[in-house]
Structures are given as structure tokens and as C-alpha cells.
């Protein structure tokens, strides 16, 4: 049952691929949850897509809070496995889960109590869309605790080099969701059609099932690092370490979502259909985003273990190999979005010629950024593995924030209309990818990146 991979020894390419493929598979599964919802909801109508997409901002925003414990768990599990420090490793796991549970409860209560003003912020202007969005968000709140804890369980296994377990467990959840999504949305026999409510119920049941599977796997596992106690008292230093690592990424994730919400409000000026187009397009584009995120997570674990073991050369080689793969992914994604964008959109909104035309434009413009988005995300993983989460977070926050004035300028004064919003998103991704990669290369080439003490970093910024 012990499927952990020691990333500090042996073939770098083989071990990176062995670790990365299941992580990418898990990332695809997370995207597939959303795509499944959008696929079936799209057949209800563009307004239903707009409702689900709008409410979905608040599950997306939850990632900001999840990242605090997720990133910390992933980095500390990897680094302490590299150091062979099981005592600290188990304490970090307990700490990460405690933080996650507390934040999950607070966030769930906040969203549930404020759900109506949160949806009203978008000024959707269609009472039917607003009603569906309220319904979807209210139901999703029931499953938010599971939505919170599953990524942290995944991070613990990934940090230990066991990426196949999260893949298997998340596959169970996806299969459940794929079966029950159309069943609950459209009804069958005694089951009445529930529309967006059915999509929400199928999603939360799938997430709860995944949580149960993780708990069973941990209880039955024979790995030493899984012999932790969630509610054990731990030193404050463990909390500070987890929070220090996670806060920059949490701010990045939260502000990214908030910036996207403002962009969503700008898009709403073109009507509910435009919102639906952006939601469908972003889910299609997420295939490349999640692939790169899988590579980033694998690189973070690889870098963390080798950093903990003081092996600088393996860190550098691992980064180079992973960036090569990410570049191929980005180029392929660019080709697919720019050449097959219209066909992809047709699958989600069949027969809606206006929506398909708008979707084709979205895909073509976002296609330019795919290579740069992939290398940005992958490089962030290398920074995370070194425990240096601040630099990628700052770059992401600054240039993602600039999307708002750029969107207003390009769509308004420069007369590009809705396409101007898409160009603001694509252009910022290009800049982030180039800048973050250059900074990492400069840092990694500095002398004394690793000092002689095992697992200690000597950087000056």
C-alpha cells in the first residue's frame, strides 16, 4: 500500500513523469467536475450557465482559504520527507488539517449567510438567472467543508510522492458526478428534473464521497507519516510555518478571484450570454491550466524533497525537464484553442450561433497566452518547493490586477468591445509567464543557493 516515491534518488525524468502523470490526471478530474456541470447545464440554456458560473465564483474564492493549508502541507511534507524528519512531518499534517477545518467552517457560514448580497453584486439584471444563482450557491454551501478538505488530503499524498492515490479517489468522485449530473438535472422516472439545483446536489455528493474515501485510505494506510492525530496539540511554530508559506499564495488566489469577479461585472455589460461564454471558455481553457498545475505540483514536491536533502543539481535539472514538458503542453493548447475553438464551443451550446461566434473569438485570443500561462504556473511550483511563495504571488497579484484597467481601456476607449476584455486577460498572462521565468532563472544561477547545511537556503533578495 506504500506508493510513495523517493524523489531524491534515481532517474529525474522517470520519477518526474511517474509523479506528474497522476497529478495531472487529478487536475483533469477537478476540471472535469466543472466541465460536466457546464456540459449538461449548457443544454438547459445560456442563462443557466451564467447562474452556475456566477455562483461558482464563491467556490473559486474558497481556494484562497484552502491554499493556506494546502501549500503549507505540500511543501512541509515534501521537505521533511527529504530530511527524514517524521515527527515534524506528522505535526505539520495535523496543523494543516486543523487550519483547514477552522477556515472551512468560517467561510461556509459567511457565504451561506451573505449569499443573496454576494450574488446581487454582479447586477445580472435577469430575475430568473439571479434566482438560479441563489439556489445553486445555497446548496453548494452544504458541501463546502468537503470541498475545503479534499485538496489538503491530496496535497499530503502528493508531497509524499504518492500521486496515484488522489487520482484514484478523485476518479470515484468524478464518475459519481458524471452519472448523477444528468440524472438530477433532467430527471428520470420518479426523479423530477431539478435544473441547476440538481447540478449542485450531484457536485456536493461527489465531494463528500471523495472525503470519505480519503479518510478510509488514511485509516487503512500503513505509511508512517499517516499515523497522525488531527486534533493533537502542536507548537505555534508549526502554525506560523504553514501560514507563512500559504498566505502569499492565498492572497494571490483570493485577489485573482476578486479581480475576476470585477472582470465578470464588466463582462455583464454585454448581457448574461457574455457571462455564459466566459464561463464555458474558461472551463475549456482550464484543461491546459490544470495540466500545467499538475506539472507545477509535481515540481513542487520534487523540488521540496531535493531541497530538504540539499541536492541543488537535481532541483535545477528537474526544473529544466518540467519546463520543457510545460512548453509542449502550452504550444499544443495554443493550437487547439486557435484552430478548434468554434467546434469546442458548439459542443456546449449547440445551435446558438451568436454564442458560438463569441466563443470562437474568446478562444482565439486566449490561445496566444497558453504557452506563457503554462510556464508561469510551472515556475510557481519550483518557487513553492523552495518555500519561496512570495515572489510568484506578487507578480500574479500585480499583473492580474492590471487586467481591470486594461479591460476598461481596451473595451471602451480603444473600441475593441468584448474582445478588449479577452485581450486584457491574455496579455497579462503573457507578461507574467515571461517575467516569473526570468526571475527564477536569475535566482537559481546565483552562487550559494544552497549552503552546506542540509536543506537550508541562502538567498538574498
Q: Given this model, what pLDDT does residue 216 score? A: 93
C-alpha–C-alpha distance, residues 284 and 447, integer Å = 42
C-alpha–C-alpha distance, residues 86 and 80, integer Å = 7
C-alpha–C-alpha distance, residues 373 and 434, integer Å = 9
Q: Given this model, what pLDDT does residue 3 score? A: 58
Digit-coded pLDDT (tens) for 364-382: 999 999 999 999 999 998 8
Q: Are 282 and 256 in contact (CB under 8 A)?
A: no
CA 306, 241, 63, 101: dihedral to nearest 10 degrees?
A: 120
Q: Given this model, what pLDDT does residue 407 score? A: 92
Digit-coded pLDDT (tens) for 293-349: 888 888 888 888 888 777 878 888 889 889 999 999 999 999 999 998 888 888 777
DSSP code of 224? G
In terms of phi and psi (left: phi > 0; alpha: psi -120 to 50; beta: otherwise), the region of 195 is: left
C-alpha to C-alpha distances, 27 to 9, 12, 124, 213, 265, nearest whole angstrom:
26, 22, 31, 18, 28
Q: Nearest-CA neighbor of 224 among 162, 310, 133?
A: 162
Longest Cα separation, the chain: 69
Mean pLDDT (the chain, rounded): 82
Measured from the Cβ of residue 112, the count of other Cβ atoms closer than 10 Å reads 14
Q: Given this model, what pLDDT does residue 187 score? A: 80
Contacts with 134 (C-beta within 8 Å, 6 or more apart), sequence order = 55, 115, 116, 119
Regions of the chain short of the pLDDT cut 50 = 1-2, 449-461
> Per-domain residue ranges for the chain?
12-444
C-alpha–C-alpha distance, residues 323 and 296, integer Å = 9
Measured from the Cβ of residue 255, the count of other Cβ atoms closer than 10 Å reads 17
Q: Given this model, what pLDDT does residue 217 score? A: 92
Element at 198 (helix H, strand E): helix 196-220
Cell 494571490 belongs to residue = 252
Q: Given this model, what pLDDT does residue 389 score? A: 81
Contacts with 151 (C-beta within 8 Å, 6 or more apart), sequence order = 63, 66, 70
pTM, two decimal places: 0.68
Amino acid at each position: 500500500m506504500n506508493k510513495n516515491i523517493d524523489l531524491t534518488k534515481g532517474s529525474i525524468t522517470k520519477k518526474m513523469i511517474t509523479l506528474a502523470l497522476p497529478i495531472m490526471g487529478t487536475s483533469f478530474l477537478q476540471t472535469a467536475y466543472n466541465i460536466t456541470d457546464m456540459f449538461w447545464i449548457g443544454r438547459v440554456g445560456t442563462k443557466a450557465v451564467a447562474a452556475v458560473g456566477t455562483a461558482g465564483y464563491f467556490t473559486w474564492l474558497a481556494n484562497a482559504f484552502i491554499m493556506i493549508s494546502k501549500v503549507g502541507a505540500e511543501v512541509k511534507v515534501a521537505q521533511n520527507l527529504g530530511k527524514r524528519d517524521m515527527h515534524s512531518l506528522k505535526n505539520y499534517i495535523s496543523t494543516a488539517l486543523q487550519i483547514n477545518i477552522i477556515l472551512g467552517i468560517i467561510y461556509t457560514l459567511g457565504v451561506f449567510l451573505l449569499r443573496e448580497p454576494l450574488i446581487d453584486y454582479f447586477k445580472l439584471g435577469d430575475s430568473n438567472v439571479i434566482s438560479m444563482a441563489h439556489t445553486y450557491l445555497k446548496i453548494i454551501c452544504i458541501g463546502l467543508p468537503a470541498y475545503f478538505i479534499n485538496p489538503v488530503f491530496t496535497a499530503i499524498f502528493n508531497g509524499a510522492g504518492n500521486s496515484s492515490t488522489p487520482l484514484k479517489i478523485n476518479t470515484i468522485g468524478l464518475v459519481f458526478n458524471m452519472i448523477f449530473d444528468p440524472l438530477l438535472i433532467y430527471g428520470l422516472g420518479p426523479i423530477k428534473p431539478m435544473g441547476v439545483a440538481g447540478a449542485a446536489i450531484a457536485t456536493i455528493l461527489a465531494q463528500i464521497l471523495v472525503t470519505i474515501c480519503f479518510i478510509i485510505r488514511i485509516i487503512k494506510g500503513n505509511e508512517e507519516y499517516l499515523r497522525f492525530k488531527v486534533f493533537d496539540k502542536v507548537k505555534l511554530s508549526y502554525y506560523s510555518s504553514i501560514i507563512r508559506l500559504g498566505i502569499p499564495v492565498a492572497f494571490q488566489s483570493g485577489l485573482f478571484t476578486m479581480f475576476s469577479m470585477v472582470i465578470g461585472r464588466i463582462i455583464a455589460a454585454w448581457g448574461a450570454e457574455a457571462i455564459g461564454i466566459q464561463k464555458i471558455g474558461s472551463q475549456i481553457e482550464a484543461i491546459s491550466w490544470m495540466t500545467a498545475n499538475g506539472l507545477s505540483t509535481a515540481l513542487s514536491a520534487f523540488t521540496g524533497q531535493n531541497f530538504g536533502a540539499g541536492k541543488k543539481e537535481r532541483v535545477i535539472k528537474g526544473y529544466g525537464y518540467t519546463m520543457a514538458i510545460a512548453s509542449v503542453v502550452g504550444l499544443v493548447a495554443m493550437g487547439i484553442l486557435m484552430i478548434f475553438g468554434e467546434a469546442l464551443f458548439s459542443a456546449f451550446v449547440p445551435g446558438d450561433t451568436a454564442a458560438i461566434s463569441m466563443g470562437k473569438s474568446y478562444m482565439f485570443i486566449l490561445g496566444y497566452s497558453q504557452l506563457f500561462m503554462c510556464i508561469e504556473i510551472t515556475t510557481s511550483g519550483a518557487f513553492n518547493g523552495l518555500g519561496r511563495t512570495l515572489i510568484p504571488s506578487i507578480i500574479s497579484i500585480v499583473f492580474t490586477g492590471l487586467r481591470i484597467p486594461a479591460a476598461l481601456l481596451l473595451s471602451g476607449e480603444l473600441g475593441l468591445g468584448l474582445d478588449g476584455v479577452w485581450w486584457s486577460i491574455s496579455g497579462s498572462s503573457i507578461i507574467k509567464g515571461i517575467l516569473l521565468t526570468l526571475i527564477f532563472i536569475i535566482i537559481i544561477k546565483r552562487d550559494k543557493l544552497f549552503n552546506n547545511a542540509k536543506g537550508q537556503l541562502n538567498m538574498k533578495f
